[in-house]
Amino acid sequence: MSERQTKLTASHWGVGLATIEGGRVVSVAGHPADPAASEINANIPGSLHGRARVRRPAVRKSWLAGRPGAVPRGQDSFVEVSWERALDLIAAELTRVRAAHGNRGIFAGSYGWSSAGRFHHAQSQLKRFLNTIGGFVRSEGNYSYNAALGLMPHIVGPYRSHVAQATRWPVIAKHADLVVMFGGMALRNTQVSDGGVSRHRMAGNLAACVENGVSFVNISPLRSDAAEVLRAEWMPARPGSDTALMLGLAHTLLREGLHDPAFLARYTVGFDRIEAYLTGAADGVAKDADWAEARTGVAAERIRALARRMAAGRTMISVAAGVQRTDYGEQPMWMAVTLAAMLGQIGLPGGGYTVGYGVNANIGNIERPFRWGTISQGVNPVTDFIPVAMISEMLLNPGGSYRYQGETRTFPEARLVWWAGGNPFHHHQDLNRLHRAFQTPDTVIVNEVNWTATARHADIVLPVAAAQERTDFGAGKSDNALVPMPRLVAPVGEARVEYDIYADLAARLGVAEDFTEGKTADGWLHEIWELTRSRGREKGFDLPDWESFLAGDVIALDDPSPDQVFLAGYRADLEAHPLPTPSGRIEIFSETIAGFDLPDCKGHPAWFPPRDLAAGQGAAYPLALLSGQPKTRLHSQLDNGAYSLSHKVAGREPVLIHPEDAQARGIAEGAVVELYNARGRCLAGARVTDEVHPGCVFLWTGAWWDPDFAAPQARDRHGNPNVLTHDLRTSSLTQSPAAHSARVEVRRFEGTPPPVEAHDPPAFDAAP
């Protein structure tokens, strides 16, 4: 009988205790110190050792034969090759592209969460390697809260800094009377955090708020976006109408004299512009509660009553990240800041606003006490970039122009695309368009653990070691703990550690010393741990040496600011703590943005109707498509694991549909249904429930795209919502993804549903 061992591992969704037997991970449970450990850990064994695992280097058959266009990417078979041949092919292709097109011909997307480890971080490793050979075109921003990254510096300050300074939930529990949640506060989102989470605190902190008498209002089409413990009032507004609702609330505050003119005069600039917009003096249309009712579906008197409640006590306004992933997604954030300023509670304990509560496990709950060590990516000599959500646009329109942050920019021509640690065929919108776009580069290289749709669209696929197959340490970007990550098992098949892959490539290209600096992976781990120890000593923490740490348990450090109140210093003394905006104050009206003269983003927050509705698509596609982070996995990671599979319906992703909408379409619980619009179609398994508002359907993100290229619109067999979402951006200010503005229709699928093939490997052939 083989020996059973239990060892620590770390993931973005928490610390796990892995049981190893016979050289395999057989189970992963949560750490006993975690009060609400995530069940996502249960996916690890099945994904690590499943059929979809990439076991050997593989090359697309048509590309290897010198006829790359003979069969489209994503539809071709593969030829397994040796590591020597794969690396020789890559070295030769890098040399060719750089000689013919310069390093501006290389695009390294590498957007995604990859591993929680500090050293074996896919993006950092790839970018460090490419920087040693002259750089690459990069992407800027992220899919989660890109509109916030692009807008907030103009009106308040850098979003990444401010979200780390968010008012802590224990402070809200002590001081707030009301929390108004635009987009809810879904606990499923708070399972995860960038780099890891040692203790899931959110559920307990929300429960403490309720115990202290804090009331919650859930403004979302999905009732379960607020946990049952909150006993939240549900106010389902039409998707994409949050800005209109906020304007109706603001008009009531203004008309009834419930706003704070003194705060507005001292701490903000430009309120007179939004006042003219609210009253209709600017355009002849008053944005009152009746106007808001017509756009949101929320009764005018209910809007007025909520405005009065917000003014009557200490109110925290929360805007979920998903709210800004809509058409004109900058507007609800800007309007939330304006609404909070009108209440005059910004900088007070339990009052003000936060964009991003609930986007991960740690915002408002904990922060890291100092910066952890990491490997340097080096310096990228190529300065060109694209906004993260413009991949298809770049590939389909090289040399084309676009607007971004007031500039007119030009798309580069990407001849070689290299992806590591991410899955654009999960993150990106309009997957059929992305499929077409991926036909345009000369070469696509993908590092992967499993045969995802992105790997299937590659010319060269490199099998890489999973987090449990290498040594590292976990430390979240906003967590207060350090987690040992000893290697649990040997890599499956011929999978290799990415650092070693790049070291071999660097040697082929004559830059081995530049990339490795003479260090092995273990040498780098010791170095970045010593850097972490040094920074810890500066903050009064005495951390153990590397060997002792790796053999030990989780190290939890003190919370650096448990009583934190966002913008408290600014409110106390704005001269001493001005904001990093042109005026040094909150910019309700931005002269900078107004000067860009954009048709889709004015100089103040404003209402724009969602594009599909404005284009008259409501009749043909009467249902609003909602899509969000699933509870069963992180985005698309480990979709082939046991926990994720256990929540499929008829083998497909579940779609929530209201009983009224289901009855009108003859759809029963558990039936296979087809969602469709002009962009695409997919199959899903029906869950009939009143937790979703009538006129809406909810489909989790992350089901691995499984197109049937013989079916109409390459119908997805598995239930990926991004075959239905449009590939337009929020606005020309930030060019952010706007996936939450799609319209669809749903019908029963007649006949025998096709089998799901997403978790199977592709076809393999002999070398041509």
**Residues known to be catalytic:** 111, 113
Q: Compute the distance between CA of residue 358 and CA of residue 186 in angstroms, rounded to an integer.
A: 6
Q: How many CB atoms neighbour CB 82 within 10 A? A: 11
Q: Compute the distance between CA of residue 164 and CA of residue 143 in angstroms, rounded to an integer.
A: 18
Q: Is 53 helix (H, G, I), strand (E, B) or coil?
A: strand
| Class of residue 422 by CB neighbours under 10 A (exposed 0-12, middle 13-18, buried 19+) | buried
Q: Compute the distance between CA of residue 525 and CA of residue 473 in angstroms, rounded to an integer.
A: 8
Percent of residues in the chain assigned helix, strand, coil, to nearest 5: 35, 20, 45
Number of H helices, E strands in the chain: 27, 29
| Class of residue 556 by CB neighbours under 10 A (exposed 0-12, middle 13-18, buried 19+) | middle
Instruction: Provide the token pair at 180.
Output: 């108004």
Own/partner pairs, 156-161, CB within 8 angstroms, 24+ separation = 156/337, 156/579, 156/581, 156/586, 156/587, 157/579, 157/580, 157/581, 158/580, 159/355, 159/356
Q: Scanning the structure block, which residue is given the tokens 């020309």?
A: 732
Nearest 10 degrees: Cα torsion 127, 130, 134, 135: -40
Instruction: Provide the token pair at 227.
Output: 């946990």
**Cβ–Cβ < 8 Å for 222, 692:** yes
Instruction: Provide the token pair at 447.
Output: 């590092």
Nearest 10 degrees: Cα torsion 168, 170, 171, 175: 140
Compute the chain's Rg from CA coordinates.
Answer: 26
**Cβ–Cβ < 8 Å for 587, 155:** yes
The b/e string for 217-240 (b: 16+ C-beta within 10 A; e otherwise) is: bbbbbbbbbbbeebebbbbbbbbb
Q: Compute the distance between CA of residue 624 and CA of residue 479 in angstroms, rounded to an integer.
A: 36
Q: Compute the distance between CA of residue 153 and CA of residue 157 in angstroms, rounded to an integer.
A: 4
How far CA 672 is from CA of 541, 654, 675, 682, 760, in Å, comes to 56, 9, 10, 10, 21
Q: Compute the distance between CA of residue 234 and CA of residue 27 in angstroms, rounded to an integer.
A: 39
In DSSP terms, which residues pair with 319 in a beta bridge? 182, 355
Q: Compute the distance between CA of residue 100 and CA of residue 92 in angstroms, rounded to an integer.
A: 12
Residue 716 CA neighbour count, 13 Å, CB half: 31
What are φ and ψ of residue 427, in 5° steps?
Answer: -70, -35
**Cβ–Cβ < 8 Å for 267, 213:** no
